[in-house]
Amino acid sequence: MRRKPVELLVAEGGQGQGGSLRRSLGMWQLTMISIGATLGTGIFVVLGEAVPKAGPAVVISFVIAGITALFSALSYAELAGTIPVSGSSYSYAYATLGELVAWVCGWCLILEYGVSVAAVAVGWGQYLNELLDGTIGVTIPAALANPPGDGGVFNLPALLVVLLCMAFLLGGARESARVNTIMVGVKIVALLLFCAVAFTGIRAGNYRPFMPLGIGGVSAAGATLFFSYIGFDAASTAGEEAKNPKRDLPRAIMLSLLIVTALYVLVAAIAVGAMPWKGFQGSEAALAGIMKDVTGQSFWAVLLAAGAVVAIASVVLTVLYGQTRILFAMSRDGLVPKVFSRVHAPTGVPRTNTVVVSLFCGVLAAAIPLGQLADATSIGTLFAFGLVNVAVIVLRRTRPDMHRTFRVPLAPVFPAIGFLLCVYMMGSLSLVTWLVFGGWMIVGLVFYFGYGMRRSRLGREDLPAREAPQAPAEK
């Protein structure tokens, strides 16, 4: 139950083995990181998984998932401005709920970020094939474009996009942020183009019946679509590389979530109006198919596929970035091997960390089907988000005078609602997903008690883990 004082967390900010991270990111870049990590996969790929569960009411599913994310985003915004460090919710839990809970949260984040990179990369290959087919008339053979269980042997494109993003990340945070900003611009334009073209193909009959599978289907689709909102918290993993984290992190988190939610709802409403909901079954490149059906020309589908290739690559880039920074924070605390906090001084990048994480995620993407990856990611995320809401309540009670640049309105009511919504969404996931999550937690606890607990810096150095000096009162 030992806790790490907030002051100590902030004081250690950026420091790694052999070097330190560089503060080079402004609010715009932080917002683009969050949008880059969020916008793309849910609407380009997972939409095809969710519509068969909810029918046209998938629009409501997006709203439910967005509201769930909003309450958690408010909590993230408060904590990101108060504890501006790389560990995101792992570090917030360490300061408020204790080391064991922080470890569980960090272990969930490894599942969330690592597996979501793989899930996103799986969908990238589908749109790459659409692009290749429409431009040069060639596609990657199914055996090399799909994982086992989805008609393939090895998903080569999924591995390639992860390795490409790894190369960008190794160049430095500022350089990879520039690449991401360009990618985000491309995918927003691509989605707006889809809306303009597909709008002409809307048929009122496609919205009837609006809720063919009942409220249960809407909830199940909402739980799956929560995967689409994973990433709004990515800016919080850049706390030690932001120029003005206390001011910019809360703004970036909230702004990115608002932009993404508006685009999701708009695109989903137009998509289900332009194609009968049963037509989405088994489609991982649904938007490109809709463009082709509406216009009768492959040009628009090819254009959208090109945008999707760029869009999904940016998700891989930013989520992979977040994963490496979380492991960096856990390694600095001694809970995972030190190699993950070793910084390459010339670039300010944890290079070994980036390479190891990228290779793991790339192999995972090449070998496991999308649906299983998306649900496994959702449950890990919901668990971590639930803990962040609890952390806000605890920190308000234990450190009421701490300076906060953003405060959750109506606390503790809103954080409590955020926590309950996360629990509700977790309950909508399948038994298989829960079994996978339980197995992951067991492995994590074995690792913690066998390695992390004994090597924890907080335990070995006998740091003041229980009580910390009061921070300056809020002005």
- 3-state SS assignment for residue 386: helix
Per-residue confidence at 374, pLDDT binned at 50, 70, 90?
low
Average pLDDT score over residue span 131-154: 79
Mean pLDDT within 378-391: 85
290-332 pLDDT, tens digit per residue, is 887 887 777 877 887 788 788 888 888 888 888 888 888 888 8
Angle at CA 265, nearest 5°, toward 259 and 271? 130
Give the separation between CA 315 and CA 119, rounded to whole angstroms.
10
Any bridge partners for residue 449, and if so which?
A: none
Is it the case that residue 428 has pLDDT exceeding 90? Answer: no
**From the centroid of its chain, how far is CA 288?**
23
Quick: pLDDT tens for 60-117.
998 888 888 889 889 988 888 888 777 778 888 888 888 999 898 888 888 777 777 7
At 45 the pLDDT is 67
| Cα–Cα distance for residue pair 89/384, rounded to 1 Å | 7
Task: Please give the C-alpha separations between residue 375 and each of 142, 242, 353, 382, in angstroms, as whole numbers.
Answer: 24, 31, 26, 11
Q: Which of 210, 203, 273, 264 is nearest to 232 (CA)?
A: 264
- 215 phi, psi to nearest 5 deg: -65, -30
**Are the C-beta atoms of 10 and 83 separated by less than 8 Å?**
yes
Question: What letter would DSSP give residue 22?
Answer: -
Q: Cβ-count burial of 86 within 10 angstroms (0-12 exposed, 13-18 middle, 19+ buried)?
A: buried
The domain ranges of the chain are 6-460
- State pTM to two decimals: 0.80
Highest mean pLDDT among 24-28, 368-372, 393-397: 393-397
**C-beta of residue 9 within 8 angstroms of C-beta of residue 234:** no
Report whether pLDDT(386) > 60.
Answer: yes
Query: What torsion do the CA atoms of 178, 179, 182, 188 make, to the nearest 10 degrees?
Result: -110
Q: What is the pLDDT of residue 17?
A: 58
Q: Which region among 129-133, 271-275, 348-352 has the lowest average model confidence (pLDDT)?
A: 129-133
Q: Compute CA 74 distance to the chain's CA centroid, rounded to the nearest angstrom.
A: 16
The pLDDT assigned to 461 comes to 63
pLDDT at 394 over 50: yes
Predicted confidence (pLDDT) at residue 416 exceeds the cutoff of 90 = yes
Cα dihedral sign, 368-370-374-375: negative
Mean pLDDT of the chain: 82
- Taking every pair of Cα atoms in the chain, the longest distance, rounded to a whole number of angstroms, is 69
pLDDT tens readout for residues 198-253:
898 888 888 888 898 888 889 888 877 877 787 787 788 777 778 888 888 888 99
- pLDDT recorded at residue 470: 42
- 6-460, superfamily in CATH? Amino acid/polyamine transporter I (1.20.1740.10)
What mean pLDDT do residues 454-462 have?
75
pLDDT(8) > 80: no
Q: Which amino acid is at 324?
A: T
Name the most confidently modeled range: 6-10, 196-200, 363-367: 196-200
Residue pair 286/64 in contact (Cβ under 8 Å)? The answer is no
- pLDDT tier, 469 (very low <50, low <70, confident <90, very high otherwise): very low
Question: Is residue 412 within 8 Å of 466, Cβ to Cβ?
Answer: no
